[in-house]
Structure 1
Amino acid sequence: MQTADDIHKKGWNSVLTIDTYQYWLAHNKVDEQDKQLLRKMTEREREDAFYRTLEFGTGGMRGELGPGTNRMNVYTVRKASEGLAQFLVDKGADAAKKGVAIAYDSRHQSDVFARVVAETVGTHGIPVYLFPTPHSTPELSFAVRKLGAAAGIVITASHNPPEYNGLKVYGDDGAQLPPDPAEELITYVNAVEDELSLQPKLFAELQESGLIRMLDSAIDQAYLQMVQNVEQCQANERDSELQIVFTPLHGTAGRPVTKLLANCGYENVTTVAEQMQPDPNFSTVDLPNPEEPAAFKLAIDYGERVNADILLATDPDADRMGVCVRNDKGKFTVLTGNQTGALVLYYLLSQKKANGTLPENGILYKTIVTSPFGETIANQFGVSVEDTLTGFKFIAENIKRSEQSGQHTFLFGYEESYGYLIDPAVRDKDAIQAVLLAVEAAAYYKKQGKTLYDVLQDLYATYGHFRETLHSITRKGKEGAEEIAQILRSLRENPPTVIAGREVLFAEDYNQGTRTEIATGEVTALTLPASNVLKFYLAGGAWCCVRPSGTEPKCKFYFGVCEESSEESDSALARMTEHFMRIVQ
């Protein structure tokens, strides 16, 4: 067999997939367990594991666990960490000495990867602040700001299946990096040619020298106190008998949420025992994703037993929250992210108006694939609304900009994919904040004899029957990525002019930065950053949007309508979705 040095001499970045595979198999830095997995690979598995380097994108990286350049493993994590360390060192001594905060969730190897990051960054003389146990993404964002760190890293794959893990990078404002600094960081990561050649110092050595510092409960306490401040009404305005069921879906939110609800006086909290402990296999659910109604199965069982008013679920890193409430037939129904966002927004704004704390320059930020339902509500309260690209980093970027200019006061940010933010002490979506405000809204309205479902129907009657849906196709591997690229290319070259009998009025191409009026061909410029997204506006207020996922091997198709009745909206949405997917396929 060729030695690692023989293979490396061929030019590590230009060798064929099989040579890169052989290089890993021969290298003395690849441990024996990984080599055994390499030897067992089929030809197809080998190609997928080595046909490219796992992409470090604008939000970090995410992929399947295992050996290979296109996998999440200690070697690719070390490469990303090396790039970040070099990035910070080149920013100057003042930036580097501020340090890096690191958190990790309950997934396979999350704690191992966190230690790899700490070792790699610490080797460059950069202080590391490491959470000693699994912690949430929003608390990592909070910690970066609280500690005055130069950057943050959280090891998580959010709500992906158990075979995935990932790494997300945060800037000194506690937000994921916006496009320009993210692209700069990417160049540093890509400049690390060989992840197998990196040899950081040992964890114990760095900890003894004070470069790795373990965080204590002080950050937890400060974070929970901040979250508690999102409360809007007094305890006597809420129904103290509200029955709550909560599940963290085997993730990081179990301890902070139960402590928070107890601190805020909610006594009737039932937790889903089978899902309270961190479990990297997520053994009680197919997907640990509160967007999936099936994830609520056990919570609904508990809810029936205790006659619950509201069920809440968070994903493994606690940045997404789902809500399930009783409908008009007394059965539990899982709300969409758009519905929950509209309910929480309406409650927040109505309370602030009643309390006299609604600012004249208040603003709501939402993404381009989020329902206009929330925008309609915000406008009724005199609150400005701005759309951002998909990804909470864009909402965070706008929060920062509004603070610097003083033009607006941030009130709420959300996206249809179950992400919400109330207090900008965190600069990412925060399921723990969202749990508290959703529970408070349910308790407030119960005092008035209403359920959250009742309030939602009232909002539909007032603002229109908004309906949205999401359809995804999953295409894994090299061939899948090519197929998704072809879908976008085809829609750009031959955009639809009629969808389900509705005329397409405008087509927006965020990659080109253009908005085209279909009837006249007139083109105007978009102001948002470039992104591989297409959006079509139809007659009657309907719309659809196509976006490849930045974190999963998926292409996502979003659809929305607003009609005069629930039945009309449901029917129109179904027709539009069916027709558009036929066009795609």
Structure 2
Amino acid sequence: MYKEAYERWLAFPLEDADLLPELENIRENDEEIRDRFAVNLEFGTAGLRGVIGAGTNRMNIYTVRQATQGLAAYLKEQKAEPSVAISYDSRNKNVAFAEAAAGVLAANGVKVYIYDTLMPTPALSFAVRALHCDAGIMVTASHNPAKYNGYKAYGPDGCQMTTESADAVYAKIQNSDIFDDVKHIPFAEGLAAGSISYIEPSVIADYYDNVKKQSVRPGVCEGAGLKLVYTPLNGTGNLPVRHILKEIGIDDITVVPEQEMPDGNFPTCPYPNPEIREALQLGLDLCKQTGADLLLATDPDADRVGIAVKDGDDYKLLTGNEVGVLLLDYICQARTEAGTMPKDPVYVRSIVTTSLADEVAKSYGVTPIKVLTGFKYIGETVLHLEQKGEEERFLFGFEESYGYLAGGYVRDKDAVVASMLICEMAAYYASIGSSIIEQLQRIYGTYGTYLHKVDSFEFEGLAGMELMKALMASLRREKIEEIGGCAVVMLEDYATQMTTDFTTGTQTAIDLPAANVLIYHLDCGASVIIRPSGTEPKIKVYYAAKADTPAAAETLQKKLAEGARDLLGL
């Protein structure tokens, strides 16, 4: 079947001039043909994501159009005249994919609102809500390498689409032919007819206003003399982040020149990921040249931010867990002092994010809420509070993967607001003769040293996906008794939604939706979490080690990492 699909694509009058030469080049390579055509890109809760190229298992205007046809059919069943907001980041084929989606929606009687330039993911979430749209599309592959692009689908609440809605859209997609069943019109025709409209500048201004409202110490940056290096990693953050920082009084910003302008090839780093030191190296070098206090780095769609802070004569990269705990502590302290802490405040974290944040939250009388991995679950928590008229209870939400949100104006992580709060936090601690590093040390001194690391193991292609499934199944079949020399005392299996306590033999239900996640709790006070990524061909292993000293925590974490590799046979 995949060979027939390949021949059909060869014969089809393909609009994208890059596709036919690619198909011709693999004519004698069965493995490459199979990889492109044996399966279709699956439309899940994160929409589509894949390598750019020809075929049903690739990102191209045809897979984008087919997915959008499914979305349009789904929306037309829900509402007579639905509308959709669209944005895109700096990825290759970004405009082509955004306009392809818009052309399909317009042809199906769905009103389209689209930004006239690249804008971050949080600005898409904001537009969905501000324009009262029924869905949203963000063309992005987040922090993946340059060969990838993607298509994130959003619901009317500004959250990424629910599993139920995504399944319904996917069913529509599966019942359609990629060429014959897709309606579409040229983008220019939709613009001329008024079925496609550009999003008004006032929406962007409202987004910026809502970001600024999340400040907890307004004015602290003015005259603080904060010296900053910033890199948008060739993505969408350059204008929005610099705009907000200027608005709050930060003028001394040096932008990494090689990474300033949008470039989907990301020429200075293979992974435009603020979690990875290599992506931040140019920024770190510039910090040393300029004597900056702080480095900020946002990923291509500007929903995540990484930082490095001055530490003596060098710069220390902080993890997503560390920044999240620091921001939570800063927000709680500031709002407590200002008397603006709401009644029954809550903060939200994912199950793979540090439990240290729970301890910090409780010290301020803030209730922790744990959700599954994926920021949409944090957004859904804000929605549920809003539906009860209690949105103000939400203080902060974050994931260890460098995603943060303060306020409910958007329902996804937002590197623009996070960048503002990080700079505000740095300026505040400097104003009292302290620093971000010193505050982190105070937190560790109070609650113990927590060390968190993540290993990602890649499994490319169809064979890789099959191996990932086999590894997870093997872990569930075998009773794992120890990891890195520490005995397993409890297992949380989110697929079966059961927790097993091996010391007592008791089982209790997990009150969260099913997910392919295993959490091993160990007798040494540490934990190991294993899960396949929902957006990349990877198995991720998270290590949480707690000890009295940083050295002891690091030694324990290394033992856990060795044990986990043995478990996975890697």
TM band (smaller chain): over 0.9
Contact 2:146/2:270 (CA < 8 Å) preserved in 1? no
The aligned counterpart of 1:36 is 21
The aligned counterpart of 1:191 is 175
User: Could you tell me which of 336, 344, 348 is aligned with 2:327?
Assistant: 344
Structure 2 distance, partners of 1:29, 1:89, is 28
User: Does residue 1:92 correspond to 2:79, yes or no?
Assistant: yes
The aligned counterpart of 2:318 is 335
Identical pairs, percent:
39
One-letter amino acid matched to 2:32:
E
The correspondence of residues 355-394 of structure 1 with structure 2, limited to 5 A, is 355-394=338-377
- Deviations for 1:491-538, whole angstroms, at most 9, x for unmatched residues? 101131122232211111111111111234322111111111111111
The aligned counterpart of 1:118 is 102
The aligned counterpart of 1:19 is 4
Structure 1 distance, partners of 2:237, 2:531, is 29
Structure 2 distance, partners of 1:295, 1:203, is 35
One-letter amino acid matched to 2:308:
C
User: Could you tell me which of 42, 45, 49 is aligned with 1:58?
Assistant: 45
Contact 2:221/2:423 (CA < 8 Å) preserved in 1? no
Structure 2 distance, partners of 1:33, 1:371, is 45
The aligned counterpart of 2:517 is 533
Contact 1:103/1:137 (CA < 8 Å) preserved in 2? yes
- Structure 2 unaligned blocks of 5 or more: none
For the residue of structure 2 that corresponds to 1:480, the secondary structure is helix
For the residue of structure 2 that corresponds to 1:504, the secondary structure is strand
Report how many aligned residue pairs link the two structures: 566
Structure 2 distance, partners of 1:485, 1:492, is 11
User: Could you tell me which of 404, 407, 412 is aligned with 2:387?
Assistant: 404
Structure 2 distance, partners of 1:314, 1:30, is 34
- Structure 1 unaligned blocks of 5 or more: 1-15
1:194 Cα deviation after fit? 2.8
CA change 1:201–1:318 in 2 (3 A) is same
The aligned counterpart of 1:8 is none
Contact 2:87/2:121 (CA < 8 Å) preserved in 1? yes
Between stretches 175-184 and 409-418, larger displacement belongs to 175-184
Between stretches 35-44 and 485-494, larger displacement belongs to 35-44
Contact 2:232/2:298 (CA < 8 Å) preserved in 1? yes
The aligned counterpart of 2:189 is 205
TM-score normalized by the length of structure 1: 0.94
1:190 Cα deviation after fit? 2.0
- Deviations for 1:401-431, whole angstroms, at most 9, x for unmatched residues? 1222346711100000000000210100000
User: Could you tell me which of 153, 159, 176 is aligned with 1:175?
Assistant: 159
Structure 1 distance, partners of 2:170, 2:351, is 25
1:238 Cα deviation after fit? 6.5
1:395 Cα deviation after fit? 0.7
One-letter amino acid matched to 1:149:
C
1:196 Cα deviation after fit? 5.4
TM-score normalized by the length of structure 2: 0.97
User: Does residue 1:151 correspond to 2:135, yes or no?
Assistant: yes
Regions of 4+ moved over 6 Å = none
Contact 1:238/1:447 (CA < 8 Å) preserved in 2? no
One-letter amino acid matched to 1:59:
A
User: Could you tell me which of 134, 158, 174 is aligned with 2:118?
Assistant: 134
Structure 1 distance, partners of 2:259, 2:180, is 37
For the residue of structure 1 that corresponds to 2:511, the secondary structure is coil
1:341 Cα deviation after fit? 0.5
The correspondence of residues 64-83 of structure 1 with structure 2, limited to 5 A, is 64-83=51-70
CA change 1:236–1:139 in 2 (3 A) is closer
For the residue of structure 1 that corresponds to 2:184, the secondary structure is coil
For the residue of structure 2 that corresponds to 1:541, the secondary structure is coil
For the residue of structure 2 that corresponds to 1:235, the secondary structure is coil
User: Does residue 1:301 correspond to 2:285, yes or no?
Assistant: yes
Aligned-residue CA RMSD in angstroms? 1.4
One-letter amino acid matched to 2:259:
Q
For the residue of structure 2 that corresponds to 1:471, the secondary structure is strand
Structure 1 distance, partners of 2:388, 2:545, is 35
User: Could you tell me which of 474, 492, 515 is aligned with 1:490?
Assistant: 474
Structure 2 distance, partners of 1:198, 1:510, is 38
The aligned counterpart of 1:217 is 201
User: Does residue 1:311 correspond to 2:295, yes or no?
Assistant: yes
The aligned counterpart of 1:103 is 87
